[in-house]
Every structure is written in structure tokens, then in C-alpha cells.
């Protein structure tokens, strides 16, 4: 049974914000619930002798605006805390696999052994792609960016499942969930094979392989490393760490598009499009390109100095939310070491480790709380495994699909949600007549 949305708490006398309007001298009381006021309550604070019905809040980039109430993910950026459904990310990444974490995100509780097995079988059984989708991927140039191909193919996949349009039918929604996780992994592997010149037909995978191992095997069907448990586990950890992250840009896109009651393939396609951006999912690709730009360990000090002078950016350091160490980075740093033990290091990885060492010892970065984030280490893992940089973000999409589905399902049953339609502050000219000819 999927968890519902709790009713908003009722404000008490002690949880009221008293506001005095300096324009009118009037005092207003705005209810505070969950540490927030409702923006619509500002409509009661009108400007006298005008047609303006009330105040708006202006918040470009949503720096301090809550668009929903969610029970899925909790983040405390100052303390470096990330929890899924209340469980610390450190414990989930250490003890569970991605599909069990996906079940937790979507359903609210961890699965028991029988449910876990059934869930894994359902996802595996829903992973086959229509032949037409395989043919569609084949039409793209081999050097097309994999995220562009993934976006187009995922959007097209929705046309093969018109039943997904019944978004208000709980049974119909539940039937689609395994297909989302199975299809995204199969499609990403297909796009990877196309990008790297491998045969497009899906390879056979071991019957007992878990989700991450199946993904790895479908990407590298000819490699002896496809069955390497350390590498499969590293992929599994990456998927868990990136499965959800509160109301980030791509999740906000999924919710905004989903609020129109469009089918979930179209809603999650919006998430893929947002993830494509270099400031979001493309950040780990930017990290590796930065390391290529540096080139060698002896050039690291000069690059760091150029960053301090504002001439370049240090990709993979710092985070919009975390003001201390990214908790995911601590986990993935250990995972990276395990991957390097299998793949060995290379000059680029040596450059990365030198960048990390210098930045962590430099007061400029420490004082600004610019610590390595999850993108820095995930890029290193993908580099060590032999993935081209432009394919990294597609793996991120596999991970985030679990969170997008959970967030979409929560949106659909939330009675407070309506079609997303932000206000604006108009800054253009007033009414003006068109010149006579």
C-alpha cells in the first residue's frame, strides 16, 4: 500500500506570523505550518487605492519556496544529512540494493524477502523494449549525445503504452511502475551500445543477476568485467545515492509537467530533459572534461590558482544544498577505491586525486565549504569503467527514475496539487497604441 499525503497541520495561536503593512498601518496574521506560510495568504495584504489584489512573493530559482509537501526524501544541507523515507542514506547504500531502495521510495516501507523477490522479477519481466524503439535508436548518428537519444526514445516509448494515460486509475498506475524501472535500464544500455558501436540486440544476462549487474552486462556484453561483483556493486551504490534528492531541477520538472495530468512517460521525459543540463545531471561529465583539460598532475596547482582568481570553475566541488560535506560523496569515495582496485588507475584518475588533495588542503576552498560532491566521484568511477563522458548522465537517469516515479505518484494523489502555474512580475511597457500606418 502506497503512503498518502498527510493533511496540513492547523496553525495555533503560537504559530502565527504578525505582519504590519507600512503602507497602510494595518496588521495581518499569517498562519505558520511546517515552518512556512502559504503564499496565497499574502493575497490578503492589498495595496490601497489600486487594482492590485495583494502581495506576491518573488523567488527566482525557488531559493526559498516550497512547492509541495512530500514524505519521500529529507535533506539537512547544513548538517550533511540525506534520508529516504527516514532511513539514513549511509545505511541504505551499505546494506540494500537499488531495487529495494526503489520500492522504499515508491511504497514508503522496505520490502520483505518475498516482496523483494517478486518486485525484482516484475522489473526484470518488464524490461523488454519494443522493436520499433530499437530501430528508432539505430536511426540516430553514432556521435549524437546519448541524453538526446534517450530523451527522444523515452518519449516515444510512451506511445506504445497508451494505458499509462489513465493517471487517476490506481491499478493502472501500479501496473506501469515495474515497466518504468525495467525499461529505463534497458533503454540506457541500448543507447550505450549504439554510442559505442556494439550490437544493438539485447545480450543474454545471467538469470540470477540483480538490477545493477543486468545493466552492466547489457552495456558491456563482451567484457569479462560484466560479471565482476565489485563493479556491479559500485553501480548499485551509485544508483542508490542518486535515486532521489528532494525537489531538484529534474524532479521539479516531472512534478510541473505531471500536474497537467499527462501520462507519466511524458512527465518523466521532462525529468530527462532537465537532467541533460550541465548544471544538473551533466555535472559529472563536466568533471571529467575538466580533468582532461588539466591533463597532468604537474598542472594541477596552476589550475587551482586560476580557479581562485575566478578564471575557471572547479567542477564537482560544492553543492546548492549541502553546506558541509555531501554525505553521498563520503560513501562514493570508498566505492571509487574499490573500483580502482579492479580497473587500476590511469593518468586522469591521478589528476583527479591530486585536485582533491590540493582543494581539501587549501583554505580558499575549505573556508567556502567547497568539498567534493557526488558528481566528482561518480565521474571518476565511470571513467575507470571505460564509459565515454557523454554517457554518464544516462546512468544518472536510471537511478533517478525511481525517485521520479515516487514523486509523480505522490503528486497524483495529493489533493492540494493543481496544475503548476507560477506568477510573474511584469516589467514590460504599459499599454501603448500601435502607430497609424
Could you give the residue numbers annotated as active site?
280, 319, 375
Q: Are strands 87-88 and 27-31 parallel, antiparallel or unpaired?
A: unpaired
Alpha helices in 299-391 (DSSP H): 300-308, 327-343, 347-361, 363-367, 374-384
> How far is C-alpha 390 from the geometric centre of its chain's CA atoms?
17
295: alpha, beta or left, given left = phi > 0 and alpha = psi -120 to 50?
left
C-alpha distance from residue 277 to each of 285, 409, 437 (Å): 10, 24, 46
Short-list 379, 374, 403, 405, CA closest to 391: 379
* Contact between 169 and 111 (Cβ < 8 Å): no
- Own/partner long-range contacts of 420-424 (Cβ < 8 Å, ≥24 apart): 420/67, 420/255, 420/256, 420/259, 420/260, 423/56
- Separation of alpha carbons 414 and 107, rounded Å: 15
Q: Are strands 16-20 and 27-31 parallel, antiparallel or unpaired?
A: antiparallel
DSSP for 199-218? -SSPPP--TT--HHHHHHHH
Amino acid at each position: 500500500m502506497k503512503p498518502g499525503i498527510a493533511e496540513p497541520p492547523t496553525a495555533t495561536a503560537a504559530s502565527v506570523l504578525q505582519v504590519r503593512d507600512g503602507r497602510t498601518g494595518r496588521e495581518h496574521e499569517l498562519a505558520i505550518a511546517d515552518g512556512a506560510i502559504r503564499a496565497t495568504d499574502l493575497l490578503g495584504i492589498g495595496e490601497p487605492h489600486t487594482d492590485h489584489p495583494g502581495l506576491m512573493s518573488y523567488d527566482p530559482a525557488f531559493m526559498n519556496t516550497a512547492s509541495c509537501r512530500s514524505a519521500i526524501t529529507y535533506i539537512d544541507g547544513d548538517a550533511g544529512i540525506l534520508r529516504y523515507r527516514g532511513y539514513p542514506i549511509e545505511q541504505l547504500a551499505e546494506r540494500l540494493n537499488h531495487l529495494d531502495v526503489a520500492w522504499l521510495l515508491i511504497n514508503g516501507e522496505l520490502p520483505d524477502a518475498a516482496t523483494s523477490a517478486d518486485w525484482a522479477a516484475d522489473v526484470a519481466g518488464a524490461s523488454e523494449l519494443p522493436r520499433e524503439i530499437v530501430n528508432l535508436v539505430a536511426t540516430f548518428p553514432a556521435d549524437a549525445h546519448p541524453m538526446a537519444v534517450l530523451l527522444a526514445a523515452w518519449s516515444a516509448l510512451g506511445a506504445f503504452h497508451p494505458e499509462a494515460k489513465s493517471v487517476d486509475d490506481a491499478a493502472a498506475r501500479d501496473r506501469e511502475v515495474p515497466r518504468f524501472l525495467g525499461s529505463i535500464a534497458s533503454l540506457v544500455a541500448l543507447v550505450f551500445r549504439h554510442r559505442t558501436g556494439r550490437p544493438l540486440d539485447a545480450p543474454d544476462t545471467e538469470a540470477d543477476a540483480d538490477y545493477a549487474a543486468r545493466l552492466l552486462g547489457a552495456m558491456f556484453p563482451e567484457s569479462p568485467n560484466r560479471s565482476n561483483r565489485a563493479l556491479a556493486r559500485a553501480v548499485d551504490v551509485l544508483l542508490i545515492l542518486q535515486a532521489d534528492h528532494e525537489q531538484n531541477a529534474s524532479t521539479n520538472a516531472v512534478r510541473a509537467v505531471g500536474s497537467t495530468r499527462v501520462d507519466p512517460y511524458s512527465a518523466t521525459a521532462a525529468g530527462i530533459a532537465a537532467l541533460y543540463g550541465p548544471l544538473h545531471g551533466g555535472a559529472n561529465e563536466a568533471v571529467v572534461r575538466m580533468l582532461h583539460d588539466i591533463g597532468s598532475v604537474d598542472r594541477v596547482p596552476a589550475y587551482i590558482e586560476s580557479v581562485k582568481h575566478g578564471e575557471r570553475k572547479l567542477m564537482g566541488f560544492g553543492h546548492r544544498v549541502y553546506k558541509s560535506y555531501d554525505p553521498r560523496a563520503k560513501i562514493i569515495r570508498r566505492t571509487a577505491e574499490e573500483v580502482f582496485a579492479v580497473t587500476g588507475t590511469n593518468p586522469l584518475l591521478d589528476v583527479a586525486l591530486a585536485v582533491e588533495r590540493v582543494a581539501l588542503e587549501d583554505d580558499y576552498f575549505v573556508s567556502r565549504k567547497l568539498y567534493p560532491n557526488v558528481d566528482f566521484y561518480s565521474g571518476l568511477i565511470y571513467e575507470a569503467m571505460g564509459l565515454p563522458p557523454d554517457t554518464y548522465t544516462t546512468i544518472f537517469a536510471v537511478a533517478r527514475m525511481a525517485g521520479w516515479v515516487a514523486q509523480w505518484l505522490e503528486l497524483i494523489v495529493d489533493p492540494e496539487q493543481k496544475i503548476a502555474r507560477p506568477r510573474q512580475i511584469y516589467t514590460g511597457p504599459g499599454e501603448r497604441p500601435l502607430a497609424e500606418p
